[in-house]
Amino acid sequence: MTKKNYACRISRSEPGPGDGGRTGSWRVLRPVIDLEKCIPAKRNKPACFTCWLYCPDGVITRTIPPTIDYEYCKGCEICAEECPVDAITMVEETVFLKEEK
Amino acid sequence: MHVIESGNVAAANGVKLSRVQVVAAYPITPQTPLTEKLSEFVDGGEMEAEYIPVESEHSALAVCIAASSAGARAFTATSANGLLYMNEQLHWAAGARLPIVMCVVNRGIGAPWTVWNDHQDAVSQRDTGWIQLYACDHQQIIDTVIKAYAIAETVSIPVMVCYDGYLLSHTYMPFKPPESNQVDEFLPRFSPEFPLNPEQPCNLNTVTLSDIRPDVHGDTAPGYMEIRHNLHTDLREALGVIQQVEDNFHQTFGRGGHPFLEPYRCEDANYIAVCLGSLSYHLRDVVDVLREAGIAIGVCGLRVYRPFPDAAVREYFKSVKGLIIFEKALSYGYEGALFADIKAAMYACTPRPFIHNYILGLGGREIQTHQLKEALYRSCTTEVAPEDMPQWLGLKLQT
């Protein structure tokens, strides 16, 4: 049995975004970063990154500015809770749904 | 060179020759002497293996699952309620596609408690996704253990090697252990595609979504249903692999037979008795007697129960007038499980042979030759099919 053939016969996943499956449409609150307050964005320096450190799903990047992968973000609110400058607010998904319409 | 030993020792030698690397087992009658022999082999340095004593059968198979995931050739053995205690892990080993081999030394299951032979233990685990092979004598036990690893590792599906408790496990018979160097040639080292490796961490068999998904590499990863579908189709395709392994074995060791069936005087038979395990050899004597009485009868044991060799069964039995299925197990509330399978396999035949079902030998009830002879004589000479329900042989109900 070749490696590729075998891969479709077992349930096997590697660490990284996506292998746990997509979040889908069930997230209630979406974290949004205010770049006027966010430390690395404001100073243009690789500093803070508390949100990146705490995100349990690893969907926040360690970049300037930090970005959030909403495909996999579960909306757990930990980043907003931990941000030392309150740069992250949780916004109702319905707001974005209305915008899209 | 032939040796005279018990069926359990024949199995242990098959395990040793297969260069098994991890043995985890919990003793249970009548399997106990097999695990004792293996611990002797490991302790005496005759086998380069880890023998892991465990506190239960559930743990025994869990250890084998872990060992096999890490890339080791793993073995366990059990009987009766021990097999039932493994049930959850049986499904797991098959779903995880681990080529574990397990000897099931067939014994009746409780309640009421029994230690004697029937086939209810293995037959009740029919739908776990394991391959089930049945042996009729000691030579077949030792050979089948070795073949089982070849089959299991080709298709990545675990295999049960079933043989009758006491009737085979504790009786002594001459058999010829294969030469070690020939076994090495026949059975190369086990090298799985994805062994557990700390350098490349991964999850195995975690919660798997109902739908397919892209994995971290962007490739499509299967959902639960695809994985289960592939297990089923691979089990069906395993029939071809079993045939191929039988051919290879025959080439290397010069012995073997039909990969799925164990026929005796069937070529010109109008009636064929069918069963699992050593009972088919018992029935050979009965067939000889009935042949002398002018009845064109044969007996055919089934060497493979899952995947069910339906095409071979149909091809072999299509031109007979009648099939008589003897079973040491029962699908309670209906009929013999093998009887149902054979009826289903023969459904496509025209004309269909009559098929009778006898339940016998449960919990070690003695099977007497004259009972088999009378049952077969009755089935072969009664033109009218009896009610479509199993009849019981050797039952002593008080009225």
Q: Which domains does chain B have, with CATH numbers?
A: 3-186 (3.40.50.970), 261-392 (3.40.50.920)
At position A65, the amino acid (one-letter code) is P
Reduced to 3 states, what is the DSSP secondary structure of residue B358?
strand
Vertex B388: Cα angle to B387 and B393 (nearest 5): 80
Do B213 and A18 count as a contact with CB atoms less than 8 A apart?
yes
Considering only CA atoms, which of B29, B36, B86, B91 is closest in space to residue B56?
A: B86
Contact status, residue B138 vs residue B5, Cβ threshold 8 Å: yes
What are the tokens at A21?
């499956």
β-pair type (A88-92, B220-221): unpaired
CA distances from B76 to B20, B142, B277 (A): 10, 15, 20
**Residues in CB range of B137: below 8 A, 6 or more apart:** B168, B173, B175, B278, B281
Summarize the confidence of residues B356-381 as an average pLDDT. 96
Question: Does CATH number 3.30.70.20 belong to domain A21-100?
Answer: yes
Q: Do A22 and B206 touch (CB under 8 A)?
A: no
**Alpha-carbon distance A70 to nearest alpha carbon in chain B (angstroms):** 16
Q: Please give the C-alpha separations between residue B188 and each of A44, A82, B73, B132, B211, in angstroms, as whole numbers.
A: 60, 56, 11, 22, 37
Instruction: Tell me the pTM.
Output: 0.90
CA distance A11 to B209: 10
Residues B126-167 pLDDT 10s? 999 999 999 999 999 999 999 999 999 999 999 999 999 999
Only one residue has tokens 């099919």, namely B385
Residue B237's H or E segment, with its range, is helix B224-253
**Cβ-based interface (< 8 Å): residues of A facing B:** 1-3, 6-19, 21-22
Q: How does pLDDT run across A40-86, given as a tens digit for each residue?
A: 999 999 999 999 999 998 899 999 999 999 988 999 999 999 999 99
Please answer whether residues B369 and B282 qualify as being in contact, where contact means their C-beta atoms are separated by less than 8 angstroms: yes
Q: What mean pLDDT do residues B327-340 have?
A: 96
Q: Tell whether B222 lies on the interface with A, counting CB pairs under 8 A.
A: yes
Contacts with B398 (C-beta within 8 Å, 6 or more apart), sequence order = none
Higher pLDDT, A20 or B166: B166
B contacts of A9 (beta carbons < 8 Å): 97, 156, 222, 227, 230-231, 234
Domain residue spans in chain A? 21-100
According to the model, what pLDDT value does residue B223 have?
Answer: 92
**Of A13-17, A31-35, B83-87, B158-162, which gets the smallest average pLDDT?**
A13-17
Q: pLDDT at residue B388 above 80?
A: no
Chain A nearest CA to B238, separation (Å): 12
Residue A20 confidence (pLDDT): 66
A67-99 burial: b if 16+ Cβ within 10 Å, else e? ebeeebbbbbebbbeebeeebbebeebeeeeee
